Structures are given as structure tokens and as C-alpha cells.
Amino acid sequence: MLLPDKHLKIGESILGLAALVLTNLEKPQAFDKLMAILAKRFETPEWPAYHNTETVTLALCFLHLAGFIDVTPEGDLTRCD
């Protein structure tokens, strides 16, 4: 029988992914470049969960809604410090 888990690892959550995105967004970057940087870190011992563009986009939406990131006129993602 399949039973749901009561706990979610931080690496599998959108909140944890948002923290990883924010850590890797040190300077303004295009989404494609940021995704390439993040893809290298997925499924490693440091970050064992896999995320795709959909979950990264959800993390970016959360960060933008919370006021942690913004989009430059050129379309790059940047941190709001």
C-alpha cells in the first residue's frame, strides 16, 4: 500500500529551491544562465533533489512576490538588497 509522507525534505521544497536560487543570483542574470548554473547543482550530494524549469519558475515567483528579486528592464533577474 502507498502511504503519503508526512515530511518533505528542504531540498525538495519550493522554499528550499528559492534559497538555492537566491544564493546563486549574485549578479543580474538571464533565466537561461541561472537555470544552467542551477542544473549543475541538482542531484548532487549537496542538493539531492531534482527540479525542472517549472519548479524553478515557481521559486522565482515566490521570491518576486516576497520582494527578494526583481526583473531589470533588459529582462535579467536581480536581487533586491
Encode pLDDT of 27-43 as tens digits.
999 999 999 999 988 88
pLDDT value at position 1? 57
CATH number at residue 71: 1.10.10
The parent domain of residue 28 ranges over 12-79
pLDDT at 47 over 90: no
Confidence of residue 46 (pLDDT cuts 50, 70, 90): confident
Task: Check: CB of residue 31 under 8 Å from CB of residue 25.
Answer: no
pLDDT value at position 12? 83
Domain count, the chain: 1
Average pLDDT over residues 7-33: 90
Q: What nine digits make up the cell of 52?
A: 525542472
* 55-62 contact pairs (CB < 8 A, 24+): 55/14, 55/17, 56/17, 56/21, 58/14, 58/17, 59/14, 59/17, 59/18, 59/20, 59/21, 60/18, 60/21, 60/31, 62/14, 62/15, 62/18
Task: Check: CB of residue 55 under 8 Å from CB of residue 14.
Answer: yes
57 inside domain: yes
